Amino acid sequence: MPKASANNIRIEYETFGDPSSPPILLVIGLGSQLIYWDEAFCRQLAEAGLYVIRFDNRDAGLSTKFDQAGVPDVMDVIGKLMSRQKVTPPPQEREPFIQFNLHVFRALTGPRFGFDEEWVRQIMGRAYDRSFCPQGAARQLVAILTQANRQPALKGVRVPTLIIHGDADPLVSVEGGKDAAEAVPGAELKIIKGMGHDLPHGEVWAQIAKDIIAHTKKACG
**AA letter at 27:** V
What is the model's pLDDT at position 221?
80
Least confident of 42-46, 135-139, 188-192: 135-139
pLDDT, tens digit, 9 for 90 and up, residues 16-37: 999 999 999 999 999 899 999 9
pTM given for the model: 0.90
* Long-range pairs of 170-173 with CB within 8 A, sequence gap ≥ 24: 170/107, 170/108, 170/196, 170/197, 171/108, 171/196, 171/197, 172/197
**AA letter at 155:** K
Listing from the earlier edge strand, what are the strands of the sheet with 51-55?
A: 3-6, 9-16, 51-55, 23-26
Contacting residues for 102 by C-beta, under 8 A, at least 6 apart: 117, 120, 121, 124
Does an H or E element contain 76, and which? helix 75-81
Q: 161 φ, ψ to 5°?
A: -130, 130
**What number is the average pLDDT over the span 160-171?**
97
Contacting residues for 37 by C-beta, under 8 A, at least 6 apart: 26, 28, 54
